[in-house]
Structure 1
Amino acid sequence: MLPDLAELLADAHVVALPMRVRFRGITTREAVVLRGPSGWTEFSPFVEYDDAEAAAWLRAAIDFGWTDHEPAADSVPVNATVPGIAPDDVADLLARYPGCTTAKVKVAEPGTTVDDDVARVAAVRRVMGPDAAVRVDANGLWSVEQAVVALERLAPFDLQYAEQPAATVPELAELRSRIAGLGVRIAADESVRKATDPLAVARAGAADVLVVKAQPLGGITAARAVIASAGLPCVVSSALDTSVGLGMGTFLAAAAMTPGYAAGLGTAAMFAGDVTVDPLVPVDGRVPVRRVEVSSAMVERFAASPDRTAWWRARLERVHARLAAA
């Protein structure tokens, strides 16, 4: 059932959380946290997404806030996330992820080179040691030719996988064929969460691993259905959520993620502020599976400006109307 708009807005707060480092080109993450009968939930589609894409994020918020999901574990292992920083800064950043034995390293950042990527991955491998799992994530920014060149240079660092090294499903399929001898597996992220058919990449044989995010796929219930149908290993990751949204991700990861992988749900460590006094930051390489209680003092401290608050409330109203008309 779709709650009334008034019910959604009754205890909704728009926040602007500062980030410790630039990530996805942003230094402040805006989000709406709202309370349903089952607890706090989150609506935070990125600002550039249109209302059609944002509709899945609102379905996710409703699914988590109006459904009593049961935790399937006490905690889940998580990876460290390394943005496009200088190699000399890697050790300090990884110290924010105590106990993590997996790292996801951003590559192909605008304004950087493959040499920069190699140096960053080399620094991560040096700091974390030979037994750590190291992933790279290009966010679909390489062409097939660029991905071949880059992955040939990065393969010696024993990558767990390369996430979205090219943009489209046909490109991923071509790349997967061309690098078959490198031993680098291909993971699909945008080809899952931004696709009209999130299973198309699996059916095309274009990926070895699927990266699944609760909010973009419409919530825990919908994402679990994708994972069950995929026939591939699945890793649950965040969409740069607040700790409320990360809590949603932990329930999904505990219930449905492939064992042996670390979830990408340690990203609260990237924020200099949050909506709670007890954020879901990694401890001993894991985060707890739990709902997060929002702090009134924290949402007041990090409240978005009046114009941005009005923008988000209008957006939520439009997307709610879209769901009501569906």
Structure 2
Amino acid sequence: MSVRPSLDDLLDGLRVVSIPLRVRFRGVEHREAALIHGPKGWGEFAPFLEYEPAEASRWLAAAIEAAHVGWPDPLRAEIPCNATVPAVTAAEVPQVIARFDGCRAAKVKVAERGQSLADDVERVAAVRDVMGQGGAVRLDANGGWSVDQAVDAITRLAPFGLEYVEQPCATVEELRAVRTALQRNGIDVPIAADESIRKAEDPLRVAREGAADLVVVKVAPLGGVARALEVVAECGLPAVVSSALDTSVGIRAGVALAAALPELPHACGLGTVGLLAGDVTTEPLVPVGGDVPVRPVDVDETLLDEHAAPEDRQDWWRDRVRAAWARL
């Protein structure tokens, strides 16, 4: 990368936080993140705990970009956002959506391990009921279905009026097979690629092989805003910008990407600060009337201290920064 601060510079100002979640998400009840400071402000390094150094290095590159390089000028002043509904019970759906002020779209987690399609149907039905007929409802399976399961589930869920289904299966070949089967069966539900973009060695393959109708892009897994803009341009498909359960610092990078895209046809998944029971700023970057404003995030030192991770976890994250930095 063109700007590569020294490892000592990164570690000197590193702050590691552990923020409780309102709802269990991805199997955890606290979100840990390492924050780095530079001349352009704060950057967030928070790859999920299971990610190895090579993958985590892209997240570090994105944090360095935020803190030391900066982003393109915005083309818009606010970003429409979706609510995010984890794999909760149908009864919990109204209180979850209520945390996302004015959002006119909702992304619903489905294909959760240990749950059934009946659970998904009940959850999606509850979301549709809360959102009304005018709201957009999209699903995210995180690659949890086989091709047959995906075709069956999407066929069952399509009557709820789906905007699209994100990553129904794990591989590009499976995405293409699902998309083809749905078209053959007259099921008009677009397919979006997420993991097949952000975790792929070749993020353009989904577009090249006709495996998706749109792409979901996250700044950190792609290595920063500049690289994400290149991926979207090269894919040539409509893009949705999403987050990775970030603090407001991480969300600000996603907002920068969404603000810089030439076109933004869909609401973005940048409202997930509402899933955290805390933040690193007194003015969290959350949807207001359904939109997240494009504005700076002022990190509060008192909140960094309040949410400071235990010493052993700080050491663990410092070691992780060292390993990721070595792979830049």
2:219 aligned to which of 207, 214, 220: 214
- Whether 1:252 and 2:257 are equivalent positions in the alignment is yes
Q: Which amino acid aligns with 2:252?
A: G
Q: CA deviation at 1:285?
A: 0.2
TM alignment of 1:100-179, pairs within 5 A: 100-179=103-182
Residues 79-120 of structure 1: per-residue CA shift (max 9 Å, x gap):
000001111111111111111000000001111110110110
- Whether 1:287 and 2:289 are equivalent positions in the alignment is no
- Which residue number in structure 1 is paired with residue 8 of structure 2? 6
Instruction: Confirm or deny: 8 A CA contact 1:13 1:33 kept in the other structure.
Output: yes
Q: Which amino acid aligns with 1:127?
A: V
Distance in 1 between residues matched to 2:74 and 2:40, nearest whole Å: 13
Structure 2 portions without partners, runs of 5+: none
Change (3 A) 1:257 1:147: farther
Q: Which amino acid aligns with 2:189?
A: V
Change (3 A) 1:257 1:114: farther
Distance in 2 between residues matched to 1:157 and 1:244, nearest whole Å: 35
Instruction: Confirm or deny: 8 A CA contact 1:71 1:290 kept in the other structure.
Output: no
Instruction: Confirm or deny: 8 A CA contact 1:248 1:291 kept in the other structure.
Output: no
Distance in 2 between residues matched to 1:321 and 1:233, nearest whole Å: 34
Distance in 1 between residues matched to 2:295 and 2:34, nearest whole Å: 19
Distance in 1 between residues matched to 2:145 and 2:132, nearest whole Å: 27
2:75 match: secondary structure: coil
Instruction: Confirm or deny: 8 A CA contact 2:75 2:262 kept in the other structure.
Output: no
- Which residue number in structure 2 is paired with residue 194 of structure 1? 199
Q: CA deviation at 1:305?
A: 0.8
Instruction: Confirm or deny: 8 A CA contact 2:239 2:265 kept in the other structure.
Output: no
TM alignment of 1:23-34, pairs within 5 A: 23-34=25-36
2:221 match: secondary structure: coil
Change (3 A) 1:99 1:271: same
Post-superposition, which runs of at least 4 consecutive aligned residues in structure 1 deviate over 6 A? none
Change (3 A) 1:43 1:271: same
2:235 aligned to which of 230, 235, 247: 230
- Which residue number in structure 2 is paired with residue 75 of structure 1? 78
Instruction: Confirm or deny: 8 A CA contact 1:40 1:291 kept in the other structure.
Output: no
Q: Which amino acid aligns with 2:256?
A: F
Distance in 2 between residues matched to 1:123 and 1:48, nearest whole Å: 32
- Which residue number in structure 2 is paired with residue 40 of structure 1? 42
- Which residue number in structure 1 is paired with residue 277 of structure 2? 272
Q: Which amino acid aligns with 1:186?
A: I
Instruction: Confirm or deny: 8 A CA contact 1:235 1:258 kept in the other structure.
Output: no
2:222 match: secondary structure: coil
Structure 1 portions without partners, runs of 5+: none
Instruction: Confirm or deny: 8 A CA contact 2:81 2:105 kept in the other structure.
Output: yes
- Which residue number in structure 1 is paired with residue 102 of structure 2? 99
Distance in 2 between residues matched to 1:291 and 1:317, nearest whole Å: 28
Q: CA deviation at 1:257?
A: 6.5
Instruction: Confirm or deny: 8 A CA contact 1:236 1:257 kept in the other structure.
Output: no
Residues 283-325 of structure 1: per-residue CA shift (max 9 Å, x gap):
10011112312111111111111111000001101211222xx
Percent of paired sites with the same residue: 55
Instruction: Confirm or deny: 8 A CA contact 1:39 1:291 kept in the other structure.
Output: no
With structure 2 as the length reference, what TM-score do the two structures score? Answer: 0.97
Give the number of equivalent residue pairs. Answer: 323
